[in-house]
Chains A and B, each alone.
Chain A
């Protein structure tokens, strides 16, 4: 317990100390929310936040990685940290492309086929035919509402996230040989070959859930603290000190980051932080054999991604809105709740569900 509190404190202090440096560096290199280029310009309130530094997730990532490398680098942490950094790299590239990238061109399948038939170069025709499945795959995502923009496209992101989750699959399923999960009140449940699928879905799902929840000042970070705190105590209870210390480092760093992220935010996490923290949370849950508690502990994130998915399907199938806006936090904002009210109530429920999840971990 003493080590956990020390780690939280150390992480908090280090993050607080170098935050001004990162914020000023991001301002200097104009790594800020772009009002006209950013894909999230669709949301009016986000449009007003143009000029706020993004990539604030680096505060948490760098602090956590340094503390873990120095004090907690062992067989229990190198895979979570690896997935953490891979997801952060994906998010970081996406953030930078959103600022500096060119708008992507959406080529339809029909146009691709026409080009493949009429291009004067035989070599190019072959390339165009070979590219056809990839163009088809991208068009499916565009049909589902993926906004082209300048960053990494949704279909591309999913593939990279699947690849990022493969180290976790190797670690949990192959190296440790786990093919069962513990479910409260039921016990160990054998799932066999479904384990790799569960691992991939958990990592991708949580990554994108946290990314979607990062839509208001302090929302994602405020909800991640109780989730990581819950897993910290679960790890402590299950005598997995390395993972408990890893969670502690994240908790301390998140708390310091939240100081700068509450409204009006001086810095935003953006994809570099949200993708990484979501992937890390699910990896820790899997490593502790507590993935069945993840939908409860991180229920607010699950509801966020679920609301987006249901809304997307419903509006495309029936042509009407189920919620006023998705994700869920925007629905309440459109209903008339202030941003502060939405954020604080979501924090409250995040703490409640984390405590419930922690309680269930004893069964």
Chain B
């Protein structure tokens, strides 16, 4: 089998989000979205932090709130983090991943590669100072910044555009693909910060077993299920499927020039 994965710096960053070291306990980054639209705040408190920032903020808040971390389980620490609004949303996670990808291959910053809709001069300055906080899932998945691709063209770094649990945009990044010797696609692994799956939300992997490469992505076998066997990510894919052209897309900034 031929396994194709994202570059090592990106793998390391994903690994950091999945294995936050908080006081000798390994914690998976929970999902947090800035629903209150708080402005001018620490990015780790609006769902846009790096793993190190999320860990630092958790340690600071544990002191502030008198929450003793010693002896706490991962679930208890995640519950505390979610209560304090410390976590990462899907676009923050994806923006950091792509930004790392571009920087590690000396191709600049993500914000310089994206095309944004026309905004005021003030907003464009804010985007330069705080890029990650001003890149949305829609920015990464719209027609200006991504191109639809077929299933058999899929490769690491591609993204799956979805309609979120609460109707907002959502996306998952293709982490690895597995093909057989005849180059037939067998399995796809994606990673995202999922708002679904209740207490199991946050940064997680999902797998898609390719049962029929000729069929669409939505018709394959999705393995990211909850206790009841329901795959919320697939449901997000199917939501408003035709209208929003949900599905596989390739970020334009990852397309290498001919």
CB within 8 Å of B: which residues of A? 42-45, 47-48, 143, 315-321, 324-325, 333-334
Contact = CB atoms under 8 A, between A and B. Distances in A.
Interface stretch (B41-49, B70-78, B215-223): B41-49
Given A44-B64, A44-B66, A316 B53 contact: no
A133 to B, nearest CB: 22
B166 interface: no
A316 B40 contact: yes
Contacts of B11: none
A49 to B, nearest CB: 12
B7 to A, nearest CB: 25
Given A42-B64, A318-B130, A319-B48, A324 B56 contact: yes
A230 to B, nearest CB: 34
A317 B130 CA distance: 8
Nearest to A48: B66
A136 to B, nearest CB: 16
B129 A318 contact: yes
B53 A320 contact: yes
A319 B59 CA distance: 17
Nearest to B130: A319
Interface of B: 39-43, 46, 48, 53, 56, 59-60, 63-66, 129-130, 133
B154 to A, nearest CB: 34
B63 A44 contact: yes
Which 8 residue pairs are nearest across A and B when measured between Cβ atoms?
A319-B43, A44-B66, A316-B40, A44-B64, A319-B130, A315-B42, A334-B63, A44-B65
A48 B56 CA distance: 23
Given A143-B40, A315-B42, A321 B56 contact: yes
Contacts of B43: 319-320
B60 A334 contact: yes
Contacts, number: 40
A42 B43 CA distance: 19
Contact of B60 (A315, A316, A317, A324): A324
7 contacts: A42-B64, A317-B40, A319-B41, A319-B130, A319-B133, A320-B42, A333-B63
Nearest to B133: A319
Given A315-B42, A317-B129, A325 B60 contact: yes
A248 to B, nearest CB: 40
A43 B61 CA distance: 9
A317 B43 CA distance: 11
A325 B65 CA distance: 14
Given A143-B40, A319-B43, A319-B46, 8 more contacts: A45-B66, A143-B39, A315-B42, A317-B40, A321-B42, A334-B59, A334-B60, A334-B63
Nearest to A44: B66
A42 to B, nearest CB: 6
A43 B29 CA distance: 25
B56 A47 contact: no
Contacts of A44: 63-66
B237 to A, nearest CB: 31
B48, B64, B130, B133: most-surrounded residue (chain A CB, <10 A): B64
A179 B130 CA distance: 44
Contacts of A317: 40, 129-130
A325 B63 CA distance: 11
A154 to B, nearest CB: 16
Contacts of A42: 64
A320 B133 CA distance: 12
Given A325-B60, A334-B60, A319 B42 contact: yes
A324 B57 CA distance: 9
Contacts of B130: 317-319
Nearest to B39: A143
A319 B134 CA distance: 12
Contacts of B53: 320
Given A318-B129, A318-B130, A319-B133, A43 B60 contact: no
Contacts of B60: 324-325, 334
A47 B64 CA distance: 9
Contacts of A333: 63
A331 to B, nearest CB: 10
Contacts of A315: 41-42
